[in-house]
Structure formats: structure tokens, C-alpha cells
Amino acid sequence: MATDIHGKGTIFKTIKRLVGKVMSTINSHMVIREKAADAQDWKRRKAEVLWKEAVELQNNGNFRKALAKWADSAKFESESSEPRLDLLANVYNEIGYCNYRNRNYIQSREYYELSLETYKKLSIFRGSSMAYTMNNYALLLLEVGEEKRAEKLIKESLKILEKSVGVDSPLLAYILNNMARAYNRLQQYEEAEKILTRAMEIEGKMMIKESPEVLTTLELLAVVVFQLKDYERAESLFLQVVTIREEIKGKNHVNVVSGLFALGSFYSDIGEYKKSEPVFNRCMEILSHNYGPEHRFIGVFFNQLGWVAARREQVEQADVHFQMAITISEKFIIKHRIEAAVCLYNSLLMDCKKDDYDKAWDKLLRSWSLFASTGKVEYLPVIQYAVTIVLDNKNQSTLAALFAKITVQNIIELLEKEQTPPSFPRWIITPQEDITVYLNELLWRLGRIQEAQAMQVKLDPFRIHVTTLHAKVSNYLADFWGLDDVEKVWESHYISWLIQARLWGEGVDEENDEADKPKDNYKKNEDASDEPEPPKKVSQYKSLEEVVEGLAVLLEKFRVAKVKVD
């Protein structure tokens, strides 16, 4: 008995010892897991700290530095023990917004999409937060010309917010303002006015007049009323915005400049140049007081003043303003090539008005190269028209006709696709003569009558033919339009130069952005491939001077070869 008891006791002790070891092992694993969790939790805390730092930077308008903070916040949160999807969705939205403000539209689109996908994964629906992402995404879509999709997105977000916060919530003002922006882009100004009226009713009940969103509504309404040609009311609204900004920040604060600029542009648009000039002068005084006399924006406003003087036929005064604009803009020429190109372009047109085409030539080459380096094709018809005028007046009419035909061909192609030809921006001075009228006269002067007649036929593809004979003649004439074999060769050389200029511009942009861009190591790319990327295309040009020299050499080849097709 004693032996049995002793045996059972031994077995019991053995089992107890084994259970103890198992529990000890489990406890050890739990401690290790807790320590690992604690190690991961510090990443969550770090993500929160970075979140707060990013918010502060973003509120101060430093979107590049904020973007880096947001990126790090997302990285630490993603690597934590239990990533919070609501925080990640919010951070992805902010990354999209900062990229949008930095004009990185492709990256912006990616992160807005990622934000919306993350919100959809949440077990609890985050209505208002998701609605804000949808609205920010809509702003991007408006910027890239997808107005219809933007409008649809805003309407969806409006429905979400109305359900989650109510139909009279001040949070709706932001949504309604974006909806008005969409209607503005769609040129549905009556609808935009209705939306803004509703926004003002909500703001009048719940918000003070100094609120940023109230000012935004007033500014948008002023633009809408202007488009509806109620100029008296529009002026009153623009002045109201300026007054409120002055009351909030003081008359010499930089925040007043945006309101003044809108007012000055309004006066210019309705032909009240005497009123716009002192407004732009005041903008310059405020900027000079705050940033010094050679700030980049000072050059922008010198250009505006030159534009106003040119409209008033004050050529000498306009030329002085444009020269000042060039002096300042060329100090920032690499990062802000469009601004410098516009100043040079406007100034060369003043040289043309004074019949100084040799002086205009150097500015033309530089402006042309800068426009080409941006890859913005909407500027090419503008600069090529100036090329036509300068070459024609430098007794190179045949070469002038070549570039004029290339420009008109672009317009014809747009017409055939039933697209609107690109309109010239208001802040670029364009020659008063229409390019087609100028080319028609030029071709007749060169004795190329059939081409001139063919151009008129091609520009009016929907003309009504009086008789069958009339239709046959039109079809016959149309065959004379277009570039012949010689012209096509020269066009191919020109296109090759355009590509090289653009590649140089892309290289410059990448160098400028490289230091400011955060490393994108927090976003998993499931589609990544081990295959090597194709070699990157690089321009043969290493500097702007080489781009300009390449253009000059190209044009000299054209001139020496005496391009002639008649």
C-alpha cells in the first residue's frame, strides 16, 4: 500500500513537474511576445508624434517637409504590432494632399486611392473622414481636367456628410465650395451660384465672417458672378474679401495679396486697366516689404504690370516692367521655368512692336527653349506664332510659313477630333492677328495660293456646299494642305529637338525634387518585379544654354537649306 501510494505520489510529482515546465515555457513565450509587442508599440507612439509634427508643418504651409513626416508616420504605424487602419487611412489622405500641393499629381492620385481603399476595410464606417478624402481627391481631379468624375465624387461625399453630421453642419461648407469649383470648371455658373448660396446660408448661421472657408466662398462667388457678367456685384465681393483679409491680418500682411491679386485681375479682365495698375502696385509693395525687392513673386507682378501697360498701348512702360520681371525671374529660372519663359515672351513682343527683331530673336530662342523644356504642349502654338512673326520680319518668310503651318496643323487636328483648340492664358500677351489670317496673307505673298485656299477648306470641315461642283473643288483644294516631304523632314528634326529639350527639363525637375522627396519605403508594392527597369532616357543637353544653342543650330540649318516647298 505504502509502495502504491509512493508510486502514485511519484507519478503526481512527475506530472506536476512537467506541467510546471510547460507553463514556464508558455510564460516565457508570453513574456517574449509582450516584449516584442512593447517594442512594436513604441512605433505606434512614434507614428503619433510624427503625425503631430506633420500637422504643424502643414498648417504653416510647408508641404514638402510635412510630406516627409507623413511618410515616416505611415511607415512606423505600418510596422507596429497592430496597425490602426483609421490612422493609416488619414495619413494616406494627407500624403495625397501634400503631393497635390507639391504638384506631384501621379503620387497624389495613388495615395487618395489607397486612403479610400483603407477606409473601406474598417469595421466601423468613418463617414466624415472618408468624405474629406473624397473631396481632396476631387480637387486633384479638377486640376487634371477630370471635372465630371470630380463632380460625381463630391456629390457622393456630400451625401455621406449630410447623413453623418446633418444638412446644416458647417463641415458641409468645404464640400459645397469644392462642388462650386467643379461647376466652375464645367462652366455651369448658375449651378455654382446656387451651391455657393447654400454654403453662405450655412456659414451665416454657424461661422464668423473671418473664417477661412467663408472667405473661400466669397472668392468663389465673386468669380461666378463675374462669369455671369454681373460686374458691379463681382467688384463688391472682391472688395469685401480684401477688406476682411485686412481686418484679420493688417493691411501690409502677405495674406492680403491673394485678395488684391484677384481684384486686380478682375479689373484687367473687364478692361479697367487704370484700376488694376494701382492694385498690382500695392501687391508689389506688400511683397517687397515682407520678402525684399527681389522675391520671385515681385517678378510675377512686374509681369502683370507690363501686361496692363501693354493693354493700354504704353509700349515703353510695358517694356520696362517686363525687363524688371526678366531680371528677377531669371534668378529662379531652373525651378520656375514657365514664369521666366512668359516674361521673356512678353518682352520680345514689345521688341516686335518697336521693330527691333534682332533684339527679340535672343529672347525668342530662350523663351522657346524654356517652354519646350516643360513639356506643356499648350504653349507651343503661342511661341510658334511669335516665331512666325519674328522670322517673317527678319526676311525668312519661307521658314516662317513652315512654323505657321505646323501651328495651324495642330489646330486642324484638334478640330477634326472635335476638341477645342487650346486658349491662350490671360497673362500671356498674344499678337492681335489670328494665326490663320497671318498665314493666309503670308502664303499669298509667297505665291502659294493653293495652300492658302486649302487651309481655309481644312479649317472649316463642316461647311455647306452649294453645289456638287463646289464640293468637288473643296475636296480637290484640301489635298494641297499639309506638310510635303521636305517639310516633314524638317518637322521631324524639330520634334527631335523638342524631345531633347523636354528630357533635359525632366532631369532638372528630378534633381530639384530628389532632396525633398521622402523615401517611399513604407508602401508595399505587391506587383514589384525582379526584372531590371529599362534604361532611363537622358537628354543630350546638360544645361539651358545647350538647349538654346541646339535650337539656334537647328534653325540655322533650316535657313541655310532654304526650306522651300512651293
Q: Is the model more confident about 434 or about 192?
A: 192
Q: Is the model more confident about 142 or about 234?
A: 234
Segment 162-172, tens digit of pLDDT = 888 788 888 78
List all residues 6 or more positions away from 103 whose beta carbon is below 8 Å from its beta carbon. Answer: none
Segment 398-419, tens digit of pLDDT = 899 999 888 888 777 776 666 5
- The full set of domain ranges for the chain reads 359-512+538-566
List all residues 6 or more positions away from 467 whose beta carbon is below 8 Å from its beta carbon. Answer: none
Which burial class, exposed, middle or buried, applies to 86 when counting CB atoms under 10 A from its CB (0-12, 13-18, 19+)?
middle
Mean pLDDT of 502-509: 91
**562 dihedral zone (left: phi>0; alpha: psi -120 to 50; beta):** left
What share of the chain in percent tops pLDDT 70?
A: 81
Segment 181-230, tens digit of pLDDT = 888 888 899 999 999 999 988 888 767 777 788 888 999 999 999 999 99
Q: At 381, is the pLDDT very low, low, confident or very high (cuts 50, 70, 90)?
A: confident
CA distance 551 to 105: 30
Percent of residues in the chain assigned helix, strand, coil, to nearest 5: 75, 0, 25
Global pTM reads 0.72
Cell of 152: 460625381
Q: With a cut of 60, say whether residue 542 has pLDDT above it.
A: yes
pLDDT score of 525 = 42
For residue 543, the SS3 value is coil
Is residue 380 within 8 A of residue 410, CB to CB? The reply is yes
CA distance 425 to 406: 20
Cell of 20: 510546471
Reduced 3-state DSSP string for 454-482: HHHHHHCCCCCCCCHHHHHHHHHHHCCCC
pLDDT score of 4 = 43
Distances (CA, A) of 198 to 102, 224, 424, 516: 31, 14, 34, 40
Mean model confidence pLDDT for the chain? 82
pLDDT score of 380 = 86
Instruction: Please state the φ and ψ torsions of residue 301, each to the nearest 5 degrees.
Output: -75, -30
Q: At 382, is the pLDDT very low, low, confident or very high (cuts 50, 70, 90)?
A: confident
Is residue 562 within 8 A of residue 398, CB to CB? The reply is yes
